[in-house]
Amino acid sequence: MRHEISEQQWIEYLCGNLRGREPARLREHAKNCPECAGTLRDLSVWREKLADEAALVRSAFETSQDTLDRLLADSLKRIREFETGADPSWTFREAVMLMRLLVEPFCGSGTAGATIHLAVQRSTPGAGTPATWGLFVRNMSEAMSSVCGNAAGRLVNQVGACLQVEGA
């Protein structure tokens, strides 16, 4: 964390999850700090790439299971190569961000965010213990199925199975 602004805060800023004066504070800081402006720019590009790939996956959702699996794997590989050049694993936060971008068109930003928050809470075994990826995917899939429909729940399951999440 530099300048008391974490990468997660920049991601939350990009997703529109910050409230009150926080968005204006971060925006003003980025105007005056080339390093943070660069971080924000990089995260914006990364988010756009994820959104493009998510749109591609959603457009192919009615295809066969094998085709969908291949498309997901190819999309995730391209995103990861763009971001790091080689590492196939995702951090938990990166994977959750991808999930959010995939399901927002099904149910909207607010519902997607609330569902993710609930799935993280249900997937955290105890205080201070991080959520496990497999449990998170199951909880999110259940919630998405009930709130946004079976297609959204299936999409969460498929993406969850394709992602290699660090520590999962």
> What are the boundaries of each domain within the chain?
7-62, 89-162
Please answer whether residues 131 and 123 qualify as being in contact, where contact means their C-beta atoms are separated by less than 8 angstroms: yes
Residue 123 to residue 136: CA distance in whole angstroms: 5
The Cα angle at residue 141 between residues 108 and 146, in degrees rounded to 5: 65
- What H or E segment, with its residue span, contains residue 164? strand 164-165
3-state class percentages of the chain: helix first, strand second, coil last, to nearest 5: 75, 5, 20
The Cα angle at residue 131 between residues 74 and 137, in degrees rounded to 5: 45
Q: CA 11, 85, 138, 92 torsion: positive or negative?
A: negative
pLDDT recorded at residue 139? 92
The tens digit of pLDDT for each residue in 11-68 reads 888 878 788 999 999 999 999 999 889 888 888 887 787 777 767 666 655 556 666 5
The tens digit of pLDDT for each residue in 85-138 reads 555 677 788 788 888 888 887 778 888 888 888 888 888 876 666 778 889 999
Structure tokens of 20?
């009150």
Residue 109 to residue 126: CA distance in whole angstroms: 27
Amino acid at 134: G
The torsion region of residue 149 among left (phi > 0), alpha (psi -120 to 50) and beta comes to: left
The structure's pTM equals: 0.54
